[in-house]
Structure 1
Amino acid sequence: MTWQQIQPFLVALAIGLMLGLERERSHNRRLPAGSRSFALLSLVGAIAASFDQWAVVAGLAAVGAVLALAYARTSEDDPGTTTTIAGLAAYMLGALAFSRPALAVALAVVVAVLLVSKTRIHRFAREIISEVELEDAIKFLVVAFVILPLLPDQALGPYGVLNPAKVWLLVVLLTGIGWVGYIGVRALGPERGLLVTGMAGGFVSASATTASMGRLSRSSASLRAPLASALAASLATFVQLLLVIGVVDTDVLRRLWPPVAAGAAVLVIIVALVYRGGVRVQHDDAPGGEHSEAPPAGRPFALKPALVLAAVLTLALLIGRWGADVFGAKGTVLAATAAGLADAHAGAVAAASLAANGDITVDTALVAIGAALGSNLLVKTVLAFAAGGQRFGLSFLAGMVLPTVAFGATLATVLAM
């Protein structure tokens, strides 16, 4: 017998032992199946799969009946059904290990993590996530997995700029990031709430977040915490830029990530230094040494801002295509600069889309993306001064100087190569 022949059975045995040991360690009461039973269930699944698929089906029916009988005998001590379901999963994973052992191991790890995380998952469901947030999560699933597959993936409209599937994919990306960021604020609690709020808010609108933090700084005991939050929103702009460009054109992404990484790395250091000072001030001022951060505002699922951004993106793409057709590369750069006044990603994605279609070069797209980020930074700086006053505005501008220089210098080096 060769190693290739015996490997699936050893993998199945290891999967069963891992799941069985977790079940025994997490329960002190009598269980319908223990570590040896789980190991045997997975091994039986692999043996059944070595015959044919009908043997797997027959084995599943037999295993289901045995587990149901075992559960009936132990349900008074432990009314939960998790162990029974885990036993069925062990059998199916054992069967899968016969043909695809790597996938079986990966899924077994996921199952084990779910079993180990019982307390955390229950706490998250009962104490952290609210009914509104659960409702918004369902809406996001509809947007991502019901609407998106139904949309046509083809170029429509003038210059072929309207691709329903790609535009809606951007909506899914933005709403998903916003939802995850919102839940992150709730899960991390108030201690890091303001910083995470700035980061999460930056994924939706860094300009709006900067203005909100500026207004908060007027009534805050310390300028550092709102300032760190506003700078974190700009950090989110860098992160989100790479995500959306990666969806549009990987060629642009390969040359764009070094300048974005350089700017983001410098900004991370600045945010850490500013926030550290802000936490120290708040810790000294708060009663009892506790932080008094505000909870996240609004709802986690923000469809309207994502739709507005998608509309701005489509318009910017149309203007960019028209500008490239009439004025050449300069028209694309001007269009990206104008779009950046509303949102940095709109002009950037429009330029990357033009490069992906071959209407402009990758170098021109990089220049346009830099112009979009520059005009958007100008808008955020104006909002920082208007909402937070001169002190907040100057502090925000000072915090963005080095990241901007790092981004610009690296971008110039990339273009010169």
Structure 2
Amino acid sequence: MRGDCDAGGIAVNVQQLEPFLVALAIGMLLGFERERSHSRRLPAGSRSFALLSLAGAVAASFNTWAVIAGMVCVAALFTLAYMRTSQDDPGTTTEIAAVVAYLLGALACTRPALAVALAVIVTVLLVSKTRIHRFAREIVSEIELEDAIKFFVVAFVILPMLPDRQIGPYGVLNPSKVWLLVVLLTGIGWLGYIGVRALGPQRGLLVTGLAGGFVSASATTASMGRASRTDAGVRAPLAGALLASGATFVQLLLVIGLVDIDVLRRLWLPVAAGAVVLVGVALVVYRSAAQARRPDTEPAEDAASTPASRPFALRPALILAAVLTLALLVGRWGADVLGPQGAVLAAFAAGLADAHAGSVAAASLAAKGDISVDTALIAIAAALGSNLLVKIVLAFTAGGRRFGLGFVAGMAGPTVVFGAALTAALVFG
């Protein structure tokens, strides 16, 4: 495990000393925090922590076995120290922090930047003792903890086990991609729940809509539709759903710019115009939602900021993933039956699942010279149009008639502006 800490040679330069200095700094940082957070006598203070980290770096300069032997000695030393002080303070945070300081000192020998970053994270955890305890005991409920465990199982246990390959008719069924959509849907629900808890029902949903739109505007629209059936009302979730579609416009420009600059040069003005109008409509809807709140209930609403629904909703995510997969299958089947109608039909079919997929495919064909830029622009419009139809259906099914009509009304203006600007770009070049 020899690295930058190899002391071979007579001349000692700054580069050889750097890992040891980093280890000292890490130990002193953790030691200072431990001393300031305790008024009683500790088994290890700032000097002891600094020496422990330095010992870890010195051990790492020899080999891995030296690090392990040192680790055993440190663990034995602080086990004895805990046995002597456990009656006064049964906590083990200082002893564990000492072991971490030793290991970070060893890590500083080969990866000093990572060691410093981890030391900062550890210090933040130590400093945030009161906040973390309050969050765990007073804020997080048993239901939220149970749902968090379910989400981790869905995202980090099931997803890695699924095969990432195309199966089924037309190869549209990819188990990993379908389940990833389920993870995204439930994750967006979690993001909305946390946003509401942190910022209140109004602002939390607005931020969630914008952030979720960069992941999946369709999924975010469905999540906002479900939120509209809770105490949050209709207008705030509607504003979040509109901002999610605005994020789709922004993301579209980014991905198209990476594929074909010529398509971007013709596309940016229509997309920017539609995005500006869409953001303006969303802000108007949000302001109306804020003004609709009664003054006598506004403080209580912000103080409670607890969503009525549970943070983890697996069944709606499974249903929506199945609907989107079926829509993509129907689109591929229609294209196969009707024959090769070109990039426009393919982009429309792909847009049923994701607007960016069909748009990027069309831009890629234009970059290769297989289709003209004008055809690529029409194909992109087709992808956006089919994706908008899917979001409208999701808005009605998830949020009901009132939310769906509000979403259609909110998207009407930006869609007209985008279509007019795109038509002008096609006509005048």
1:140 paired with 2:147, answer no
Alpha-carbon separation, structure 2, partners of 1:240 and 1:49: 49
**TM-score, length-normalised on structure 1?**
0.76
1:169 and 2:183 aligned: no
Indicate conservation of the 8 Å contact 1:17/1:39, yes or no.
yes
- 2: CA distance between counterparts of 1:130 and 1:162? 37
Pairs within 5 Å for 1:104-143: 104-143=115-154
Q: What pairs with 1:31-50 in structure 2 (closer than 5 Å)?
A: 31-50=42-61
Letter aligned with residue 351 of structure 1: G
Q: Secondary structure at the match of 1:123?
A: helix
Larger radius of gyration: 2
Matched, 1:367 2:381: yes
Alpha carbons of 1:22 and 1:237: their partners in 2 closer, same or farther (altered >3 Å)? farther
Amino acid across the alignment from 2:114: L
Q: Distance in 2 between matches of 1:131 and 1:384?
A: 27
Letter of the structure 1 residue corresponding to residue 345 of structure 2: G
Please say if 1:89 is aligned against 2:97.
no
Q: Greater shift after overlay, 130-139 or 259-268?
A: 259-268
Task: Measure the CA separation in 2 of the matches of 1:414 and 1:74.
Answer: 77
Give me the whole-angstrom Cα distance separating, in 2, the residues matched to 1:69 and 1:398: 70
For residues 125 and 30 of structure 2, the distance between their equivalents in structure 1, rounded to whole angstroms, comes to: 11
Q: Tell me the SS of whatever aligns to 2:311.
A: coil
Shift of 1:262: 7.1
- Contact 2:201–2:305 (8 Å) recurs in 1: yes
* Whole-angstrom distance in 2 between the partners of 1:105 and 1:244: 37
Instruction: Check 1:56–1:410 CA distance in 2 against 1; reply closer, same or farther (3 A cut).
Output: farther
Matched, 1:103 2:120: no
For 2:247 and 2:356, locate their aligned partners in 1 and report how far apart those are by CA, in whole Å. 14
Range that drifts further, 87-96 or 12-21: 12-21
The answer for the alignment partner of 2:236 in structure 1 is 228
AA in 2 matched with 1:101? P
Of 273, 276, 293, which aligns to 1:282? 293
| Distance change (3 Å), C-alpha of 1:305 and 1:133 | same
Change (3 A) 1:58 1:410: farther
Residue among 322, 340, 351 paired with 2:358: 351
How far residue 378 of structure 1 moved from its aligned partner, in angstroms, is 5.0
For residues 161-193 of structure 1, what are the alpha-carbon distances to aligned partners after superposition, in whole Å with 9 as ceiling and x for unaligned? 222222222222221221232133234456756
Identity of aligned residues (%): 58
Q: Structure 2: how far apart are the matches of 1:61 and 1:123?
A: 34
Identify which of 15, 18, 22 aligns with 1:4.
Answer: 15
Assess, with a 3 A threshold, how the Cα gap between structure 1 residues 262 and 120 changes in structure 2: closer, same or farther. farther
Q: Which has the larger helix fraction?
A: 1
Over 3 Å counting, the alpha-carbon distance change for 1:251 and 1:305 in structure 2 is: farther
The alignment partner of 2:109 has SS state of: helix
For structure 1, which segment, 228-237 or 262-271, has the greater mean C-alpha deviation from structure 2 after superposition? Answer: 262-271
**Alignment partners' CA distance in 2, 1:136 and 1:244:** 33
Query: Structure 1: where are the runs of 5+ without partners?
Result: 340-345
Q: Following the alignment from structure 2 to structure 1, what is the Cα–Cα distance between the partners of residues 359 and 94?
A: 50
In the other structure, the counterpart of 1:343 is: none
Alpha-carbon offset, residue 203 of structure 1 = 7.5
8 Å Cα contact 2:195-2:207 kept in structure 1: yes
Q: 2:68 aligns with which of 45, 57, 64?
A: 57
C-alpha contact 1:193 1:296 (8 A) present in aligned 2: no
TM-score (norm 2): 0.74
Residue 72 to residue 226, structure 1, CA distance change in 2 (3 Å): same
Equivalences for residues 12-411 of structure 1 within 5 A: 12-189=23-200, 192=203, 204-207=219-222, 209-210=224-225, 213=228, 226-239=234-247, 251=259, 267-268=278-279, 270-272=281-283, 274-276=285-287, 278-279=289-290, 282=293, 284-286=295-297, 290-291=300-301, 295-325=306-336, 326=339, 327-335=341-349, 339=352, 346-348=353-355, 351=358, 366-376=380-390, 379=393, 387-388=401-402, 399-400=410-411, 403-404=414-415
Provide the C-alpha distance between the structure 2 equivalents of 1:146 and 1:246, rounded to a whole number of angstroms: 32
| CA gap 1:43/1:373 in 2 versus in 1, 3 angstroms | same
| Range 271-280 or range 305-314, more displaced | 271-280
Contact 2:235 2:285 in 1 (8 A): yes
Cα gap change, 1:309 to 1:410, in 2 (>3 Å): farther
Which runs of no fewer than 5 residues in structure 2 stay unpaired? 1-11
SS class of match (1:98): coil
Structure 2 distance, partners of 1:303, 1:216, is 17
